[in-house]
Structure 1
Amino acid sequence: MTINPSVRELLANVSVPFEAARAMPPRVYTSEEFLKSELETVFSRDWVCVGRASALGKPGDYLTYELAGEPIIVLRDTSGQLRAMSNVCRHRMSTMLEGCGNKRSIVCPYHGWTYNLDGSLRGAPAMDRNTDFCAADYKLPQIRCVEWLGWIMVTLNPDAPDIKDELAEVESLIDDFQMQDYVELFRETHVWDTNWKILAENFMESYHLPVCHSGTIGGLSKLNEMICPPGRKAFNYHTILKDDTLKIAIAHPDNTRLQGDRRRTTFLLAVYPSLLITLTPGYFWYLSLHPHGPGQVNILFGGGLSPDFANSPDAQAHFMQTKTLLDKVNVEDRGCTEKVFRGLSSQAAAPGHLSHLERPNFDFAQYLADRTGGFERHFES
């Protein structure tokens, strides 16, 4: 098998002990060839998050997404089941739905072919003279779709391992947080001028908090209290302890599940390839990323409150406080990550050594090397 130069550079980069590790090579972020490899071996093969299941609460609720070049529809069908299917009409191949909303059926805007919410063809105007036409032959191709801890996960790969098995460790790790019950209160889409991996890595380490986020959350945590354990096959994580300056990051008085330091622990979970979750006892927020060329990233950005805070008399005030903070944090992150992309696009760019606080970044690089170049990863039992 011929390995492209950027993959070869990545394989060399990750084939050292973590204690000697460096950041990934610039071409891993800037190369069109590497992006092609990612789309084929990562985004076409692994599970990707398209949002929270609560966003599709009623039959007919839908959202659209483009995954590795494939337009898809995710919806709640008439029986209440989550489904994903192709968003391409089986007739002249137009895309059909856009954005999100609620529909009783899926109607192609080109010739009016109409599909039921299970993808079966309901009607096709003026097809009665084609003797070979059979409506039963025209069901929209179905795509694997599951709900996992409140998230909608889809994959184009019929052979992808069951995500509940892949992420069983995550469930046990955060079981007392009961993430599936958190209430989503906003969902937005953005496009930033940076590579998707730069934003993913930015999320995976809190080393940058004191500087990049000096105006917001930088002073809420201490670097010496951050714990960055070795990553696992399908995810990595690190934890930080928040002080009580930000009350909503601490467990609500009615929360009796969380005990001791767990009441002020924040988990930063990175589910490969691109679901990034900040989970605190009081609120959560997330990014789900998809590349838009080497120099841009499509971002699904959402979040909300734990049930204790969402159902309290001060819920609206809690939400406004959280959303205002997260918007400011996003502005800071956008500035930092876009600067990184501009920098690593320079002829002078060269990857420096990683801090012990960037362990998740190294594990992420090894995951990418596994997918794109067959790197053999090893995990502690």
Structure 2
Amino acid sequence: MTIGTDLAELTAGIDALYRAQLTEQSTLNAEGLIPVAVAEVAPRPLRDWSEAHDAIAALLARVPAEAEEAGRVGWLTEMTQSLASLARMFAGERIGFAERLRDQLRVAPEPIPQAILDGYRTELADALDALGYRSGDLAEDVRRWEDDTTVPEAEVIARLAAIQREAQARSRRLVVDIGDDWTEPAGVHDKPYSAYCDYPGRHVWLNLEFRYTEADLKHLATHEAFPGHLVHLARREALVAAGEMPLDGAQVVTNSASSPLFEGIADNGIALLDWIDGPQDIAGLALQRTRSALRCNAAWMVFEEGKSIEEAARAVAGPSFMDVHPMTRRLAFLSHELRAPFLFAYWCGDDAVRRFLDATRDWERPRVVRTLYDEMHTPTTLAAAAA
């Protein structure tokens, strides 16, 4: 517990130091390094980045001896190394994109392979075929299916709330019961996201500049609320308050070793609720994963191949079955220094959790839920937990 408290306080101190040097006001800058903390954490006072680097190195040296008994060596090591890379970047060091993927997000520093994209394409085509979309042109079939299932803008918020209600009931039975806790859907415009879980304010902010199909809304209801971010954060808040989770579990830390699992648990919400009801959900998941993977590849094109965001958007829009303009809007993270690699957190986290669920099919559900919700993991430590 002690080293977890020290990590949380040091992370909060680095967040304060980072925020102090920001000069531009924006939605993403306002989030800082720690957009959400579900418990009070006293930031460690830090005079400058040199003192921060020394404190991180000292903490990392303590991990093997102090974390072994709790089985948290892997988590604390990767999280502290992630923090070290972030602090170096905040201090002005130029760190390459691939290095940031490896050292900050702790994921493979490479684009998503074509073989995986081809697998999604096959799943999508087979599901749409089962739904009666069989023109022989997959792009045309996707367009027709999305047109047929798009929810009118005036009905989107009410429909999202209705889906959340069903997801809430399933989550109570199958994942974690957080009582009547709720996050209210509401519309926004001109934001660098499609949807956002405002945990402190208990809202799901839905960007109405985008169109949403039934499949999109089911994904967002499970991702942002039940059993995704709302349930995950409420569970961590309760565990920290009860002294059953170390204080580092109280923080959401952007672009860190914790990010892939934070997003990956949410992205697997439909599966965690045993809610894959036929080809319409299979098509929705295959399309969502296709687009997520290709957004990763667009980020790689920008930062490793020197393309502009507009060029990358044009390159991946067609294979994503999207127009260029909405794809460009979906790549808004790429213009923000801290968030630039974050698109990989979604796909890599989704993949890590999906693999974990596949590997633990013979586990009892409470054990699966405890591992995902009651422990802090990186993709590496989650894979080890399933071995």
TM-score range, shorter chain: under 0.3
Greater CA radius of gyration, 1 or 2? 1
* TM-score between the two structures when normalised by the length of structure 2: 0.24
Higher normalized helix content (fraction of residues): 2
* TM-score between the two structures when normalised by the length of structure 1: 0.24
